[in-house]
Structure 1
Amino acid sequence: MDSILVTGNGPLNGQIPIAGAKNACLTLMPATLLSEEPLTLTNAPRLSDIKTMTALLQSLGAEVSSLQDGQVLAMSSHDLTSQTADYEIVRKMRASNLVLGPLLARFGEAVVSLPGGCAIGARPMDLHVEGLEALGAEIELRDGYLHAKAPGGLKGAVHEMRFASVGATENIVMAATLAKGTTVLKNAAREPEIVDLVDCLRKMGAQISGEGTPTIEIQGVDRLHGATHQVVTDRIELGTYMLAPAMCGGEVELLGGRMKLVESFAAKLDVAGVHVEETEKGLKVARKNGRVSAVDVVTEPFPGFPTDLQAQMMALMCTAEGTSVLEERIFENRFMHAPELVRMGAEIEVHGGTATVTGVDRLKGAPVMATDLRASVSLILAGLAAEGETTISRVYHLDRGYEHVVRKLEGVGAKIERIKGQ
């Protein structure tokens, strides 16, 4: 099993290109199931999760070709052979459940296994099911699979979600594009990835308004056509690399970054003593003066502080001046990186969904283990700012969400290498 060796060696300087958004691309790919015509995605990230979604779509009979070194995905669902998403593929990644809405909308039936993914708490499908049932679907859970039918087709409805779930919003919106009549989805998630999905669906002929607000209205159409769409910049990769110069010093420009994607995150960095400036090419980040200051963080749905940047922010707070409190309100069990940071000399106390971090002058390198995707990169950041060597094991998590992480950090002066397992 591969590991990553990081040696702290001072300030970072240069440019890091930011890839297309993993979470956006994983949502856009199932949209091909809504139409017989081709859907082409550009600026696709080159990640193992994208390969998993590719395998899932191909198992349904879709054609998926990876072009231009993986940055272009050419897809066609003109001749699907199955409406069943098998457990062996779905268990690897929770985003696999996003085939449910499109299959149900186009074919009137779907059988989808309950999903897997990172071990960061329960991720139930109840919000997805409630929304699709509001559109007239009949859904039954049997033997770990959701068996969904809509014998007379889906019908538009007014539905308010109990929680602004990103995945449920995406599934319901995709399903509603082919439903008869108008669907009004209230308490919808507002993430940029949803705005990007709606932009793509609109190019395919969908009639949707209100994306980026809590109320999305979808007027169903008879069919969708093909389109070409560029995947939005990955705001989580962007935020992650913004923390590298914040922790190590120096100045790094994140190519393709935009402030509107990370406003709440950048606001916290500003209070902590990190300068973020928008440039023609992206975002430029540098520490203002010496050691950063502690700030409190509460994770919230967009436009609040992203849960997917909580682990990385904790790494920064480990060396901040003062004490910070990080409260996780989105996922349970999302402080599994804390004990690993403690192995590096951090002072962290976890009580339920709250972590209290007292900053230390310097972290020390140590052997640590990644527990999930964002935890793995938080340990890399910590290693960059630590004395000595840090070895991060189980980095297969990393490949799900960060392309060429070693190459990108090496490009700005980091001492980092990937060590192949036996």
Structure 2
Amino acid sequence: MSRLIIKGPSRLEGSIKISGAKNAALAIISASLLAEGETVLENVPQIQDVMILSDILSSLGVDVCWMDEEILRLRVPEEIDHVATYYQVKRLRASNLLLGALLARKRVAEISLPGGCQIGSRPMDLHIKGLTQLGCQISIEHGYIKASRSRMRGARIYLDFPSVGATENIMIAAAVAEGQTILENVAKEPEIVDLASFLNALGAKIRGAGTDVIKITGVKRLQGTRYGIIPDRIEAGTFMVGAAITRGNILVENVIPTHIKPVSAKLQEAGVYIEENDLGIRVIGPETIKPIDVKTLPYPGFPTDMQSQMMALLALAEGTSMIMENVFENRLQLAHELKRMGAKIKVEGRTAVILGVEKLYGASVKALDLRAGAALVLAALAAEGQSEVHNLESIDRGYLNIERKLSHLGADIMRAD
């Protein structure tokens, strides 16, 4: 198993270009199954999750070709397979997005229950509820989701929780369903807006993405196009915290400031200097990190995907902070690894109370999930002495060349087997 060896403390300085958004790319690549002809996607990150999904599409019969590091070409033939096996999807949560796409394209789908990070309960019930209301028949048998349909007809669908995945899955299927679909209480994340923009570029008729209600008028055919994916707001936020925790000075490039307003606001509350300019966002870490309280919520609230990185930062704050995790209950398990580095954190249920310490110290720690792994890397950059971050595969799922980018900013970091 690969690991990162990090010698701290470091001060990160320089500029960094943010890669394309992982969660937008996964949804858009899945939705590409609906397009006739050739689809070319730009600003696609060659991270592990994207590569796994590309391999799954290849196994279904899709012609998948990387034209360069960030450009992916997809050609979907008339006949493709409809089965994604356990061995293909066990490492990828976003494989569930193939359900709506395959039902729309093939009228039948058989997909193993998805894998991914074990950060809490992420059931498929909302996905199934929505697709069923469109006219699909779905059952779960022997660890597989088995689905079929004759005709898909638009419906009025209310989500009990604004699930990102369920919103995306239903949106993809409804794009080619007969009549109008009205989705209520939907997710409003920027990745939802990006998926809607992509589907519209293919010829879909979708309005309201980014609000509580999305209206979709189904069309008969979608045509391939060329489309650029938005920057990754979570990678941007991670490097912003990197500047803060190392008391560094970073210019974060290729970022959409409105997408990370919740993160910027909390960092400013903690004493971090943030300035938006024509080149990106300048982030300068403070000498003293102020304690703050953080509560995760669906967008536009503070993102759960940034909670772990914020916990690492607040471990070095001057005073007591509190984090309340309202989305994924297992995200607070990071506290146990940070305590190995000297952090003082008490977890009760979905709440973590963090008593800031003067210093963290190098230790061997394990990335329990993608964002926890990124947080441990940030903590190691600020800690005294050498740290080893194990289970690097979790980090590679969502960050492209993280050690190369951090080295460019001045970190003493290397990958080892």
Fold agreement, TM-score > 0.5: yes
Instruction: Tell me if structure 2 keeps the 8 A contact 1:61–1:79.
Output: no
Match of 1:303 in 2: 300
- Pairwise mapping of residues 287-366 of structure 1 onto structure 2 (< 5 A)? 287=285, 289-366=286-363
SS in structure 2 of the partner of residue 402 of structure 1: coil
User: What SS is found at the alignment partner of 1:262?
Assistant: helix
Q: Deviations over 1:287-340 (max 9, x none)?
A: 2x4111011111111111011111100000000011111111111211221111
Shift of 1:66: 1.1
- Write the distance in 1 (CA, Å) between the matches of 2:79 and 2:270: 52
Q: Which residue of 1 aligns with 2:252?
A: 254
Aligned equivalent of 1:78: 77
CA drift of 1:393 comes to 1.1
State the Cα distance separating 1:374 from its structure 2 match. Answer: 0.7
Encode CA deviations 1:30-77: one digit per residue, 9 max, x unaligned. Answer: 1111122211110100111111001111111111101212x1110011
Give me the whole-angstrom Cα distance separating, in 2, the residues matched to 1:285 and 1:80.
50
| Alignment partner, residue 94 of structure 2 | 95
1:216 matched to 2:210? The reply is no
Give deviations 1:109-162, integer Å, cap 9, x for gaps: 1111110001112211000000001111111111111111111x1100111000
**TM-score, structure 1 normalization:** 0.97
Partner of 1:171: 169
Instruction: Name the SS of the counterpart of 1:45 in structure 2.
Output: coil
Q: Give the equivalent residue in structure 1 for 2:9.
A: 9
Q: Aligned AA for 1:107?
A: K
> 1:62–1:80: 8 Å Cα contact kept in structure 2?
no
Query: What is the letter of the counterpart of residue 389 of structure 1?
Result: Q
Partner of 2:36: 36
Say whether the 8 Å CA contact 2:110–2:147 is kept in structure 1: yes
State the partner residue of 1:377: 374
SS of the aligned residue for 1:330 comes to coil
Pair 1:146-2:145 in alignment: yes
Cα distance in 2 for partners of 1:225, 1:401 equals 29
Mapped contact 1:247–1:385 kept (Cα < 8 A): yes
Residue range with higher mean Cα deviation, 222-231 or 99-108: 99-108
> SS in structure 2 opposite 1:116?
coil
CA–CA distance in 2 between the matches of 1:291 and 1:182? 54
Q: Which residue of 2 aligns with 1:399?
A: 396
For 1:298 and 1:355, how far apart are their aligned partners in 2? Answer: 10
Alignment correspondent of 1:276: 274
Specify the code of the residue in structure 2 equivalent to 1:36: E
**Offset of residue 78 of structure 1:** 2.0
State the AA in 2 paired with 1:343.
Answer: R
Size of the alignment, in residue pairs? Answer: 417
Whether 2:292 is the aligned partner of 1:264: answer no
Alignment correspondent of 1:64: 64
- Which residue is 2:412 aligned to? 415
Note the C-alpha offset of 1:10: 3.7
Distance 2:146 2:241 in 1: 43
Contact kept in structure 2, 1:380 and 1:392, CA below 8 Å: yes
Q: Is the 8 A contact 1:86 1:112 kept in 2?
A: yes
* Residue identity in the other structure for 1:25: A
Q: Is 1:109 aligned to 2:108, yes or no?
A: yes
| Unmatched tracts of structure 1, length 5 or more | none
What SS does structure 1 have at the residue aligned with 2:329? Answer: coil
Q: How is 1:187-226 mapped onto 2 (pairs within 5 angstroms)?
A: 187-226=185-224
CA distance in 2, matches of 1:182, 1:323: 51
Could you tell me which residue of structure 2 aligns to residue 236 of structure 1?
Answer: 234
Task: Give 2:404's aligned amino acid.
Answer: R
Q: Distance in 1 between matches of 2:118 and 2:348?
A: 19
Decide whether the 8 Å contact of 1:323 with 1:356 is kept in 2.
Answer: yes
CA deviation string 1:181-201 (max 9, x = no partner): 000000010000110111110
Would you say the 8 A contact 1:258–1:278 is kept in 2? Answer: no
Asked if 2 retains the 8 angstrom alpha-carbon contact of 1:257 and 1:281, the reply is no
What is the DSSP-based 3-state SS (H/G/I as helix, E as strand, rest coil) of the residue aligned with 2:65?
A: strand
TM-score by length of 2: 0.98
Q: Which runs of 4+ in 1 moved over 3 A?
A: none
Q: Do 1:60 and 1:80's aligned partners in 2 also have CA atoms closer than 8 Å?
A: no
| Amino acid in structure 1 at the alignment position of 2:93 | R
Q: 2:51 maps to which residue?
A: 51
1:32 touches 1:38 (CA, 8 Å); kept in 2? no
Q: CA deviation at 1:84?
A: 1.3
